Amino acid sequence: MTLTFRQALELALEYSGRSLREVAAAAGVSYEQLKSLRQGKSRSTNVDDAVKVAETFGCSLEQFLAGNFDSEHRSVPIVGKVGAGARVPVFEAYEPGSGPQVVCPPGLDPRSVVAVEIEGDSMEPVYSAGDLLFYTRATHDGVPSEAIGRRCVCECEDGLGWVKQVKLGSAPGLFNLISINPQADNQHDVRLKWAAPVLLHWPKELARKVE
């Protein structure tokens, strides 16, 4: 993966929690120049300044543009795929520790969070195929009260994984799975094994998988 300098800078700031002004001061480059670049008012910066910025993150410019500016990153597992309209079989398809990993987004605890990849288009335009969803299961089974009315990763009794808005069904133990895309079908009175609210959605362009 090769990023533009602007993309790499945005990700580096997000992962590190540093401010743009702090980075500009540490690199000895113009804050206004970096601000203009970040806002899209300028398209690039000179190579010398780009090298200086990369060095403030402890890496070369080549590593910076490859997204390898965070050697201390924490990762979480991608446990499989969930259907957003598509019928996806049991999505926890990998043995613990054997599946792909993605850099843990800031603010989430990698000890309890996992990620799934979306397949299908029923949650467009909010969630798209290939995007990642991060969640934590508060309980192994069941649907906690905080999941009702929220967009959740869930598993139905047929062993299929879904990302839907979960609402109460017509009787206890039954749930309605609602799509965002008005052209997609909703599912009514479905029995769920479990559901967990989505903590964070990352477009596929931003997700950085760990090699």
Per-domain residue ranges of the chain: 5-65, 75-210
User: 116: part of which helix (H) or strand (E)?
Assistant: strand 114-119
| pTM of the model as a whole | 0.62
Burial zone of 6 (CB within 10 Å; 0-12 exposed, 13-18 middle, 19+ buried) = middle
**What is 75-210's CATH number, 3.60.40.10, 3.40.640.10, 3.10.180.10, 2.10.109.10?**
2.10.109.10
Residue 81's nearest CA partner among 49, 117, 106 is 117
- Convert the pLDDT of each residue in 157-177 to its tens digit: 888 888 889 999 999 999 999
CATH superfamily entry for domain 5-65: lambda repressor-like DNA-binding domains (1.10.260.40)
CA distances in angstroms from 198 to 134, 136, 162, listed in the order given: 6, 8, 11
- Convert the pLDDT of each residue in 77-134 to its tens digit: 888 888 766 665 655 555 555 568 887 777 777 778 888 888 877 677 788 888 999 9
